[in-house]
Amino acid sequence: MKVVLLHFCFTEYTVELANGLANYADVTLIQPEKLKADCQQVLDPRVQVRNFAKPRIRDPRNVLAMAEMMRLIREAQPDVLHVQETNDFWYDLTLLFNKMPPLVTTIHDVFRHPGDRDNVPGSEYTRRIAFYKSQALIVHANPLKQALVQQFRVPGDRISVLPHGEIGTFFQKWSEGVHLPREPHTLLFFGRIWPYKGLQYLVKALPLVAERFPDVRLIVAGRGQNLEQYFPDGYDPRQFEILNEFIPLKAVAGLFERSTVAVLPYIESSQSGVAAVAYTLGTPVIASNVGGLAEMVNDEQDGLLVPPGDVRALADAIIRLLGDRELQQRLSAAGLARCQTDLNWSNIAAQTVEIYQRAIARAQR
């Protein structure tokens, strides 16, 4: 089987999927030129790579970029085209007006997150083209499938739910063998700092945690706007380590290795790449019991779930985990075990190939 993977973002996810698929298919990865450097040293050598120049979203030269993208797809002559959802209306319109090979699309987020400033005007409507043009859709949680069926009238038999595979391996490769020691009372909030991530609840919970563990420390790592709103009176650098910037790929694994727990206090969630990193690196997870997180994290088995927006419950869970070494070890071991089972890319790739086969059969009807 010849597979073309096309992506404009979700690099770590796409690389690990390509590496897994290389055991089952002839894989070609097509991507914007700017993503080339992020993939080079971590891709399986069996994966062929084709790059194309992609201007900024408002540049009319995107017409030429889409023409080149289509040329590369046709040149590869795939049995199936698998696309990671885009935030790019140029691609969406190209999909609308061109005949495509049998098409599979992974929808990471059915709806844009509240406060997501990366949303491109108009794409919220044009991206729906992929919902209906695809022979098969992949999502990472049952609530996303339900939303596609109930609100967008997508037939349920075209939607498959697959877990979000572990992506810590991607960052481990970038760390080049450098490992950092675990810090006993360090918490990690990682990723884009948008309102739906619930950072304010974690900041409010920290003084409660400090009553029990005075040396508790929170790392806030990721880009976000108006970070000052969380610290109107400033912050104590002994208690907070603020990295309000894009985290270099080679530094990501070290942040998780240093931390006793990764905290995901989201108030809305579709799925979580952060948990998928934490499990690989043996970092226990505390997360909100909301959306796809409630399926990603198995409460009391490989993580702890708390009600979203509940500062006291969040603080209690953190205190419990920091004070119980045996619980830390049990959750860490369970997360690592999942990276060899349902979150393992070889297993996910095998299930994905079955979806490809159904998509090809559906396209031939």
Output the pLDDT for position 233: 82
- Note the CATH architecture for domain 169-338: 3-Layer(aba) Sandwich (3.40)
Output the pLDDT for position 358: 97
Distance from C-alpha of 45 to C-alpha of 54, rounded to nearest angstrom? 24
Output the pLDDT for position 117: 56
Cβ atoms 297, 222 nearer than 8 A = no
Output the pLDDT for position 271: 82
Cβ atoms 313, 291 nearer than 8 A = no
Output the pLDDT for position 92: 92
Question: Where does CATH 3.40.50.2000 sit in the chain?
Answer: 2-165+344-363, 169-338
Distance from C-alpha of 127 to C-alpha of 119, rounded to nearest angstrom? 11
Output the pLDDT for position 176: 82
Q: Enumerate the H helices of the chain as residue ranges.
A: 11-21, 36-39, 62-76, 89-97, 123-126, 129-133, 142-152, 168-174, 199-212, 249-258, 273-280, 293-296, 311-322, 325-338, 345-363
Output the pLDDT for position 200: 95
Antiparallel, parallel or unpaired: β 103-106 and 186-190: unpaired
Six-digit token pair at 260? 């006793």
Helix, coil or strand: residue 314: helix
Sheet bearing 240-243, strands edge to edge: 240-243, 217-221, 186-190, 261-264, 285-288, 303-306
Fold for 2-165+344-363, please state it. Answer: Rossmann fold (3.40.50)
Distance from C-alpha of 275 to C-alpha of 83, rounded to nearest angstrom? 23
Per-residue pLDDT of the chain (365 residues; tens, 9 = 90+): 999 999 998 999 999 999 999 999 999 999 999 999 999 889 999 999 999 999 998 899 999 999 999 999 999 999 999 999 887 889 999 999 999 999 999 999 887 766 555 556 556 668 789 999 999 999 999 999 999 999 999 999 999 999 999 999 999 999 988 889 999 999 999 998 988 999 999 999 999 999 999 999 999 999 887 788 888 888 889 999 999 999 999 999 999 999 999 999 999 988 889 999 999 999 999 999 999 999 999 999 999 999 999 999 999 999 999 999 999 999 999 999 999 999 999 999 999 999 999 999 999 88
Beta bridge partners of 193: 224
Output the pLDDT for position 123: 64
Between helix 325-338 and helix 273-280 the angle, nearest 10°, is 110
Cβ atoms 257, 188 nearer than 8 A = no
